[in-house]
Amino acid sequence: MTKDLNTQPLFRAVSAKRPEPGLIYHLDLGSHYCSHEYEKILNQFGMKMSVSRKGNRLKNKR
């Protein structure tokens, strides 16, 4: 996956919705979302990153 493929949807969403700083942005465990570049962009928009630990998805479905 390219950097642009990951970051462009984020830029479009921020442009369309204009969220307030402090928005919690929940990500999956994909390495492309956990990159330093992606984190840098979230910080640029004042967003806080939330990432589930491995296995949490199964626990929450019970």
- Tell me the domain boundaries of the chain: 3-15+22-55
Contact 31, 3 (CB under 8 A): no
| Confidence band, pLDDT 50/70/90 cuts, at residue 17 | very high
Cα atoms in the 13 Å half-sphere on the side-chain side of 48: 6
Element (H, E) at 34: none
Give per-residue pLDDT as tens, 22-62: 999 887 766 666 678 888 889 999 999 887 766 555 444 44
pLDDT at 37: 80
Mean pLDDT of 2-6: 73
pTM over 0.95: no
Residue 31: per-residue pLDDT: 64
Output the pLDDT for position 35.
Answer: 75
